[in-house]
């Protein structure tokens, strides 16, 4: 018994821990700006390099206890502090860290700087300091106030942003701004009368229920076969044709209902009752909320 409980407990722990890990695995380094001259300012009015983390999942993910680093040999360089509610990233949202080597300025100021003269490797490690969640190497020589960013949030290629045509630098906001629902617009353009959608959707509905039909037709046939075999054994019949003629295995529910009713009549309903009459006082649970219950009438029940 104890082993069983222990097994269930271990399974639960594994499930929960894997779910936890799965959430953090959805974090991505999304955009990095190394030389900040006239770009985003922190709460102190300073312009420093910044690193944006994006939560690609559809659930909130807390980055506390994870590590940010620019040193492959020191994965635990900046532990993201516990106890700050702002470390929780809402679904599909961002968090910005300032690479200003001023950790005493708060949770989001890391203890390293980025060097514009050389390639900067940045890594985000899980709370164990071993599992690398995401990393990026920001190439040297990116112009001031230009960022190195993913084309789309959390996925895709990296590009340099900041020039006309290459897209805007977008600290703490989406790299791609969605100002329309593309799916809806596609349907409006390509299927203005809804015929395509209707045909496609009905096809899927029919396919689903057709598959269910085929499957349960097969299961039903197997069930009838098993019942028939059992019935043949009980009736001592070995000839399949005879069994088919007698409809063995295909009895309707009505037959079983009739048998059940006959048994009930035989076993439960008596022509002569035992004539014991017991009168019990109606007991109703007392509570201060219904103390007047004896003087109230029953809830009306319209027949």
Partner 1 sequence: MGFIDFLGDNLVQFWEYTGFANCTFPHVAMILVGLFFIYLAIKKNFEPMLLVPIGFGILIGNIPFKIDAGLEIGIYEEGSVLNTLYQGVSAGWYPPLVFLGIGAMTDFSSLIANPKLMLVGAAAQFGIFGAYMVALAIGFTPDQAAAIGIIGGADGPTAIFLSSKLAPNLMGAIAVSAYSYMALVPVIQPPIMRLFTTKKERLIRMKPARAVSQNEKIMFPIVGLLLTCFLVPSGLPLLGMLFFGNLLRESGVTSRLAKTASGPMCDIVTILLGMTVGASTQASEFLTPSTLGIFALGFMAFIIASASGVLFVKIFNLVLPKSKKINPLIGNAGVSAVPMSARISNNVGLEYDSTNYLLMHAMGPNVAGVIGSAVAAGVLLGFLS
- The residue ranges that bind partner 1 (CB under 8 A) are 181, 183-184, 187-188, 191-195, 197-198, 200-202, 204-213, 215-217, 219-220, 223-224, 226-227, 250-256, 302
Q: Which tokens go with 167?
A: 């897209």
SS3 labels along 67-128: EEECCCCCCCCEECCCCCHHHEECCCCEEEEEEECCHHHCCCECCCECCCCCCEEEEEECCC
Whole-angstrom distance, CA of residue 24 vs CA of residue 80? 13
Give the residue from 46, 56, 40 showing the smallest Cα distance to 96.
40
CB of 156 to partner 1, least distance (A): 22
CB of 96 to partner 1, least distance (A): 28
CB of 46 to partner 1, least distance (A): 37
Cβ closest to partner 1, residue 12 vs residue 215: 215
Whole-angstrom distance, CA of residue 114 vs CA of residue 189? 47
CB of 192 to partner 1, least distance (A): 7
CB of 189 to partner 1, least distance (A): 10
Whole-angstrom distance, CA of residue 20 vs CA of residue 15? 9
Q: Which tokens go with 149?
A: 């960013």
Cβ closest to partner 1, residue 128 vs residue 207: 207
Cβ closest to partner 1, residue 44 vs residue 216: 216
Whole-angstrom distance, CA of residue 159 vs CA of residue 173? 16
Residue 25 makes CB contacts below 8 A (sequence gap 6+) with 133
Q: Which tokens go with 163?
A: 């020039």
Cβ closest to partner 1, residue 195 vs residue 279: 195
Cβ closest to partner 1, residue 193 vs residue 294: 193
Cβ closest to partner 1, residue 59 vs residue 141: 59
CB of 173 to partner 1, least distance (A): 23
Whole-angstrom distance, CA of residue 241 vs CA of residue 247? 10
Question: At 53, which helix (H) or strand (E)?
Answer: strand 49-55
Phi, psi of 139 (to 5 degrees): -65, 150
CB of 263 to partner 1, least distance (A): 16
Cβ closest to partner 1, residue 76 vs residue 217: 217
Question: How long, in residues, is the chain?
Answer: 303
């Amino acid at each position: 018994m104890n082993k069983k409980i222990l097994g269930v407990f271990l399974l639960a722990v594994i499930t929960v821990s894997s779910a936890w890990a799965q959430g953090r695995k959805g974090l991505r380094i999304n955009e990095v700006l190394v030389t900040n001259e006239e770009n985003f300012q922190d709460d102190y009015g300073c312009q420093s390099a910044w690193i944006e983390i994006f939560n690609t999942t559809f659930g909130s993910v807390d980055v506390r206890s994870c590590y940010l680093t620019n040193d492959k040999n020191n994965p635990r360089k900046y532990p993201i502090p516990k106890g700050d509610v702002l470390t929780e990233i809402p679904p599909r949202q961002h968090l910005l860290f300032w690479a200003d080597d001023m950790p005493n300025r708060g949770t989001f100021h890391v203890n390293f700087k980025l060097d514009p003269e050389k390639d900067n490797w940045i890594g985000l490690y899980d709370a164990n300091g071993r599992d690398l969640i995401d990393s990026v190497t920001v190439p040297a020589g990116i112009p001031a106030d230009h960022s190195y960013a993913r084309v789309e949030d959390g996925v895709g290629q990296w590009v340099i942003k900041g020039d006309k045509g290459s897209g805007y630098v977008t600290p703490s906001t989406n790299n791609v701004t969605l100002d329309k629902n593309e799916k809806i617009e596609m349907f409006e353009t390509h299927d203005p009368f809804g015929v395509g959608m209707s045909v496609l959707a009905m096809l899927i509905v029919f396919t689903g229920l057709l598959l269910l039909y085929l499957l349960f037709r097969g299961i039903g046939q197997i069930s009838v076969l098993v019942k028939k075999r059992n019935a043949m054994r009980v009736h001592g019949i070995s000839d399949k044709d005879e069994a088919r003629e007698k409809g063995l295995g295909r009895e309707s529910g009505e037959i079983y209902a009739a048998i059940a009713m006959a048994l009930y009549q035989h076993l439960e309903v008596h022509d002569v009752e035992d004539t014991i009459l017991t009168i019990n006082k109606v007991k109703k649970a007392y509570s201060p909320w219904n103390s007047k219950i004896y003087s109230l009438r029953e809830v009306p029940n319209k027949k």
